[in-house]
């Protein structure tokens, strides 16, 4: 039986089970079991679908220390000889994966977004040359296979849930963590665009209308995101960037305002139900993949749409509106 170790997504723990879909695509009907290396004391937040969860007691430092996490994985590998190790492509995973591959003397395929079989050969697909090419990479090194997975690409649908064994990892690593916590501060409450059902996203053409994006997003019970152009100009925060160098999003509605739609940005859209684009150029690349295209000025469009929403809300009682907003908050 093949055995896979998956490193928990420490940013969004419950999304760790999406990597089970990668296991299914690699091994198909071949017998395999998935183990999760987790750093959480809250069992209710542990994802489903794993045969075994190895739980490491974390005091808030381990999930910041890539060297220490690698030491734990190396110790587990020495006892269980995993056939495959999957690392989420988060900021932490990007530090863990290459360190681990070097220590195990094997290859690494980073930031994959698909797994395909070409006859009897397994290919791991990732973007190359700034997102202009899709490359299929085969592994020729000895096991284990080490992959880092681009977040938001894969989605796992359970057919049946195995009985999960939770095992506590109590071993003291010879080289303790070199990080020291000097101070703790409460992180301000914010949203993650990967969880948003509705996104109002601004690009270079929305620079003049950017202050209105938040107003429109609130009216649509959604959130604001942005393209790389606005992030590079310092107008939007990198945490809300959509695209190859940002985050992969799957909202029900994606309102693309002033976004050209370069392939690097389109790479960030995955299983979006409806794309509505607003652009002065009807031949912009984003328009070719949009369900609805509005040709015109971004600022005028937002103002007109807000007026329309306000008119519709006149027919909604205050109690109804409060209830809807309360559920979202």
Read off the CATH number of the domain in which 29 is found.
Answer: 3.40.50.620
The answer to whether position 119 is within a domain reads yes
Q: Comparing 49-58, 102-111, 120-129, 246-255, which segment has the lowest mean pLDDT?
A: 120-129
Residue 320: the pLDDT is 43
The answer to whether position 182 is within a domain reads no
State how many domains the chain has. Answer: 2
Which residues make Cβ contacts (< 8 Å) with residue 103, sequence separation at least 6? Answer: 70, 74
Q: Are 28 and 11 in contact (CB under 8 A)?
A: no
Q: Answer yes or no: do 118 and 222 share one domain.
A: no
Tell me the pTM.
0.69
DSSP, residue by residue, 27-40: HTTS-EEEEEEE--
**Containing domain of residue 50, as a range?**
2-169
97 φ, ψ (degrees, to nearest 5): -55, -50
pLDDT of residue 305 exceeding 80, the answer is yes
Question: Chain-wide mean pLDDT for the chain?
Answer: 84
The answer to whether position 300 is within a domain reads yes
Q: Comparing 117-126, 277-286, 307-316, which segment has the lowest mean pLDDT?
A: 307-316
pLDDT interval class at 52 (50, 70, 90)? very high
Q: Are 272 and 249 in contact (CB under 8 A)?
A: yes
Residue 102: the pLDDT is 94
Per-residue pLDDT averaged across 198-208, rounded? 90
Q: Answer yes or no: do 37 and 153 share one domain.
A: yes
CATH number, domain containing residue 238: 3.40.50.1220
Which DSSP letter does residue 164 get? P
Q: Answer yes or no: do 20 and 163 share one domain.
A: yes
CA-wise closest residue to 177 among 262, 279, 68, 88:
68
Residue 321: the pLDDT is 37
């Amino acid at each position: 039986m093949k055995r896979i170790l998956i490193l928990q997504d420490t940013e969004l723990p419950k999304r760790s089970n999406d990597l089970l879909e990668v296991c299914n695509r690699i091994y198909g009907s071949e017998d395999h079991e998935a183990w999760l290396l987790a750093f959480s004391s809250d069992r209710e937040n542990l994802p489903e679908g794993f045969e075994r969860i190895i739980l490491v007691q974390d005091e808030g430092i381990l999930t910041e220390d890539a060297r220490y996490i690698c030491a734990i994985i190396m110790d587990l590998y020495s006892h269980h000889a995993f056939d495959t190790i999957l690392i989420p492509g988060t900021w932490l995973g990007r530090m863990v994966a290459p360190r681990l591959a070097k220590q195990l003397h094997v290859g690494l395929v980073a930031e994959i977004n698909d797994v395909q079989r070409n006859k009897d050969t397994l290919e791991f697909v990732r973007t190359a040359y700034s997102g202009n090419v899709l490359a299929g990479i085969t592994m020729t090194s000895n096991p284990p296979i080490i992959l880092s997975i681009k977040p938001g690409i894969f989605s796992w649908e359970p057919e049946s849930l195995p009985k999960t064994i939770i095992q506590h990892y109590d071993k003291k690593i010879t080289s303790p963590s070199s990080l020291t916590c000097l101070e703790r501060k409460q992180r301000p409450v914010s949203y993650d665009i990967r969880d948003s059902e509705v996104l109002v996203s601004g690009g270079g053409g929305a620079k003049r209308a950017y202050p209105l994006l938040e107003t429109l997003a609130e009216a649509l019970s959604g959130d604001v995101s942005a393209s790389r152009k606005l992030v590079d100009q310092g107008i939007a925060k990198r945490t809300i960037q959509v695209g190859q160098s940002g985050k992969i999003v799957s909202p029900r509605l994606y309102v693309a305002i002033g976004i050209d739609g370069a392939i690097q940005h389109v790479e960030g859209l995955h299983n979006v139900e409806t794309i509505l684009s607003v652009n002065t150029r009807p031949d912009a690349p984003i328009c070719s993949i949009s369900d609805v295209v509005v040709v015109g000025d971004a600022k005028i469009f937002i103002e007109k749409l807000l007026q329309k929403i306000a008119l519709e809300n006149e027919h909604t009682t205050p109690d109804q509106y409060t209830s809807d907003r309360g559920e979202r908050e």
